[in-house]
Amino acid sequence: MGKIIRTTLIGGVLFLLPLVFIVVVVEKAYQIIKVVATPLGNFFSTDSIAGIALADVMTVVIMLLCCLIAGLFARSPVGRKLHRKLDTILLNVIPGYAWLKGVIGNIQDEDAEKVLKPVLVRFDDFY
């Protein structure tokens, strides 16, 4: 019973951790973009509720446009090449990155051959 609770708890943490990370990043991006969108909203009088709502809507629209542009760049050949290069650098620099990719199930075969090399370890007289 304890093992089931422990594995369920660990599974829940591994499931929620990326979601929490995404929420925090989106919230920070929202705050940064709102600083840009608020002066744009001043052209439309932010003294009323409609003006404040307009600034929030403009913030969301700017965020969506940034995501669209980033997605288009990621699908381009230059974006794919940059992603592969950055991924290789992270695999070599951050020790836990390969493990995290393995847990997520997103590690590619050529990356696995570079990073996850089998070794022979000797414990006392056992191989």
User: For each of the chain's 127 residues, which pLDDT tens digit applies?
Assistant: 777 777 777 777 777 777 787 888 888 888 888 887 777 666 666 566 766 777 778 888 888 888 889 888 888 999 889 888 888 887 887 777 777 777 666 545 555 566 666 777 777 766 5
Q: For the chain, what is the domain count? A: 2
- For residue 113, what pLDDT is reported? 61
Rounded distance, CA 56 to CA 50, Å? Answer: 10
On whether both 68 and 84 belong to a single domain, the answer is no
On whether both 54 and 110 belong to a single domain, the answer is no
Q: How many Å from the N-terminal Cα to the C-terminal Cα in the chain?
A: 34
Last residue of a domain, one of 33, 50, 75: 75
E strand or H helix at 106, and its extent?
Answer: none
Looking up tokens 């230059």, which residue turns up? 78
On whether both 58 and 106 belong to a single domain, the answer is no
Rounded distance, CA 111 to CA 84, Å? Answer: 10
On whether both 43 and 7 belong to a single domain, the answer is yes
101 is written with which tokens?
């990719």
Cβ neighbours, 10 Å, residue 59: 22
pTM of the predicted model as reported, rounded to 2 decimal places: 0.51
On whether both 16 and 67 belong to a single domain, the answer is yes
| Range(s) of the domain holding residue 85 | 77-127
Residues 6+ apart with CB under 8 A from 127: 120, 121
- For residue 77, what pLDDT is reported? 92
On whether both 103 and 55 belong to a single domain, the answer is no
On whether both 82 and 57 belong to a single domain, the answer is no
On whether both 65 and 84 belong to a single domain, the answer is no
72 is written with which tokens?
């288009």
On whether both 66 and 86 belong to a single domain, the answer is no
On whether both 35 and 93 belong to a single domain, the answer is no
Residues in the chain: 127
- For residue 119, what pLDDT is reported? 73
On whether both 1 and 57 belong to a single domain, the answer is yes
CA-angle at 16, arms to 71 and 108, nearest 5°: 50
- For residue 78, what pLDDT is reported? 92
